[in-house]
Amino acid sequence: MPERASVFQVYQCGLEGTIGTQASANKTLTALTIEATPNIEVTMFKPSGYLHPTVGVVGRDWTTASASGPMTYTEIVYPLSSHYTKPLGGTPVIPSGGTNSRYWLIYPKPTVAGTPATFTFETGDANIAERFVGGIFTDFGYTFSRENFEVSGAILGQKYTTGATLTSSPTEVALIPVEPAQVDVYADAVAGNLGTTKITRFFEGEYSSTGRYGPVWDVNPANVSYATTVDTAPSKTFRFVVEADSSGINYLGHLRGGTTLFMRVLAQGGTIEAGTIRYKFQHDFALRLNQPNALTDRDGVYAVEYSGEIMYDSNLTYAERLHVINSVTSL
């Protein structure tokens, strides 16, 4: 067998019908770099009178993985459908006037559990491969500026299994990248005006959602890893940098007054079909600012940074909502 070259180690995934039930890993996500880590807890015991431990007991066994790469209008629906929930209705719908395009409404409801997508992941090459099932995005985030737009995430999975074989002939998801020049950011003080007031001197944004799911560890020989996952309260934040002009510095008033900002991050790409149906990523959310940061130079411009927490708003009837239009018909 030749050396196991890092450059040829691929990751494939497949949508599971039930969490932890192995699926055919028939898709390749070529815009995401995934790095998995097997986690095996071993408790060592050293009795009195002995210099060294005499026994080690294996306990919990699971997988964690990181994911990162450029934002695309196409692959983004994989982490979104897993971290939040599958699109409203379970599958994307065809937009009015469309045929090949699809509209994905990712709508995490504030008091009801969603139906997140879980995946079987396979990694390796033609000679050697491993697998883990139940893969779910516990963390998701993105950062963007005029230089790039990148996504990141953390994946929780069950036991990391050796001796696997890669699913043959996987399909690559077509990549349509989000270009920084396609992005607009809006901030309004009234829910009904969401998406009206564009921030013209917006320099940098960072969204983070962490801790969305946790493992359920029961005492049951039938489960070689955790049994399933459970919803947990995530931490959701948004940080942004704007010019400290009259508009940018005015956000201090929102912070002091305890008012909510209604934010929209909108990216629109090229036309898919029908002349008007375009690739789109749209993230709407209610933001409560809770921290100003240092005013500093930004390429010669005096700028200010703000941080806040995403919160439920009764006028919106949600905390956040995501809209994607692309040509991906299913996961």
pLDDT reported for residue 248: 96
Between CA 321 and CA 274 the distance in angstroms is 25
- CA-CA distances (angstroms) from residue 4 to 7, 8, 121, 156, 187? 9, 8, 19, 25, 50
Give 257-307 pLDDT, tens digit per residue. 999 999 999 999 999 999 999 999 999 999 999 989 989 999 999 999 999
- Mean pLDDT score of the chain: 97
Percent of the chain with pLDDT over 70: 100
Nearest CA to 224 out of 108, 61, 99 is that of 61
Structure tokens at 126: 């033609």
CA distance 281 to 76: 9
Q: What is the pLDDT of residue 267?
A: 98
For residues 284 and 313, the answer to whether their CB atoms sit within 8 Å is no
- DSSP β-bridge partners for residue 296: 303
User: What pTM does this model have?
Assistant: 0.96
Cα–Cα–Cα angle for 287, 203, 146, nearest 5°?
120
The pLDDT-based confidence of 88 (bands split at 50, 70, 90) is confident
Residue positions counted in the chain: 331
The residues, ordered by sequence, that sit 6+ positions from 86 with a Cβ below 8 Å of its Cβ are 114, 115, 116, 117, 331
Q: What is the CA radius of gyration of the chain?
A: 22
Q: Is the pLDDT of residue 1 over 80?
A: no
Domain borders along the chain are: 9-40+58-326
